[in-house]
Amino acid sequence: MTRLNQTVYSDFPLRLGSEGVATTDRMAHIRHQIEQVLFTDPGERWFRPDFGAGVRALVFEPNGSALWQITRQRLQASLADALAGEVAPRDLEVEVSASPDRPEQLLIIISYRLTAINHVESLTFEVSR
């Protein structure tokens, strides 16, 4: 019997091992989905041109509150779409600011609660200029 928190997913990026497709657990799968949204540029996927937030392109933008607000809104919408069924949009929080130690870095904190197993997690990403 497979429990909700013990489901097996294909690993990302897709790899083949000695026993077939490499697998991962639910928490790593969610983290991989978030990374895909963050680091995929809109238009990069042919059949999903609206997928992705494109944070790598932010290294060329001035780091300030206007950028943070736009990035937060874009991430909130993109992540809510990508994580539908796993995370309720009301349980997804995105915070964007400058890194306190290095003001040239963009700090992205994503907090969420997995609906099915009521697990709360927070991930931090730093985008360097």
Residue 32 exposure: Cα atoms within 13 Å on the Cβ side: 13
pLDDT digits (tens, 9 = 90+) for 73-94: 989 999 999 898 889 888 999 9
pLDDT value at position 41?
Answer: 92
Confidence of residue 25 (pLDDT cuts 50, 70, 90): confident
Q: What CA–CA distance (Å, rounded) separates 96 from 27? A: 22
Check whether 122 has a pLDDT greater than 90.
yes
Residue 83 · residue 92 · CB < 8 Å: yes
pTM over 0.85: no
Examine the pLDDT at 4 and tell me if it is beyond 60.
no
Where do the domains of the chain lie? 4-127
Token pair, residue 23, equals 């697998």
Looking at residue 85, the DSSP 8-state letter turns out to be T
Decide if pLDDT at 111 tops 90: yes
Using a pLDDT cut of 90, give the percent of the chain over it. 24
4-127: CATH number: 3.10.450.40
Query: How confident is residue 129, by pLDDT bands cut at 50, 70 and 90?
Result: low
Close Cβ partners of 96 (under 8 Å, ≥ 6 residues apart): 67, 68, 69, 71, 72, 75, 106, 107, 108, 109
Task: Give 29-59 pLDDT, tens digit per residue.
Answer: 889 999 999 999 989 999 989 888 888 888 7
